[in-house]
Chain A
Amino acid sequence: QKEVEQDPGPLSVPEGAIVSLNCTYSNSAFQYFMWYRQYSRKGPELLMYTYSSGNKEDGRFTAQVDKSSKYISLFIRDSQPSDSATYLCAMSAMTGGSYIPTFGRGTSLIVHP
């Protein structure tokens, strides 16, 4: 079992829908929780991060972390076709004196007009 599990999708939604993307994990030492967005044939870019548990909001995006359930979510409100991309969750814990991220497999999101 991988440390970080993420459903690869694809997830197809109509424009304007609320999207929910999720990851589960097994390592209770993870402290930082990130969401990256990757457009086709491009490198990932950081969307947002959360330290420990709780919620964080940035515009149409909300990240949630539930450490008791080892479950994190990214919500996208009023989804747009430009949100179509692969969303990667990532988490990091101290390893050998450094925080090294572990990535999920990514979920492919398609928002159709």
Chain B
Amino acid sequence: NAGVTQTPKFRVLKTGQSMTLLCAQDMNHEYMYWYRQDPGMGLRLIHYSVGEGTTAKGEVPDGYNVSRLKKQNFLLGLESAAPSQTSVYFCASSYLDRGPYEQYFGPGTRLTVT
């Protein structure tokens, strides 16, 4: 099993450009999450999904959109990138019954917005 994979691993964007980050998991997990990690700020939840076709806002959703059209994929979109969105983005997934305590994380995407 590949576990949780993220595409791309690195990206540099100019202010105002758009992009989509792809997260894929092969563990048949119900829950999927997008986090951003900034120095001194820890992991902050952007959006999450409890199942195919459902999404919900997390702690810092502004400037991001998500979609979960297939159970195994969770997409994070930046419509108009801003320098404040420079961060490391982590995707995670979990089983429904272990969601409270067991998340599997991807390797991260390092995004720089200039």
Contact = CB atoms under 8 A, between A and B. Distances in A.
B42 A104 contact: yes
A22 to B, nearest CB: 15
A43 B106 contact: yes
A29 to B, nearest CB: 12
Contacts of B69: none
Given A8-B40, A100-B58, A103-B42, A43 B99 contact: no
Interface residues of A, number: 27
Contacts of B42: 6, 88, 103-106
Contacts of A102: 45
A41 B100 contact: no
B60 to A, nearest CB: 12
Interface string A24-43: 00000001101000000111
Nearest to B44: A103
Given A42-B107, A42-B108, A104-B42, A34 B101 contact: yes
Interface of B: 4, 31, 35, 40-45, 48, 50, 56, 58, 90, 92, 99-108
Given A101-B101, A103-B43, 9 more contacts: A43-B92, A44-B90, A44-B105, A46-B102, A46-B104, A88-B42, A92-B99, A100-B58, A105-B42
Interface of A: 6, 8, 31-32, 34, 41-46, 49, 51, 88, 90, 92, 96-106
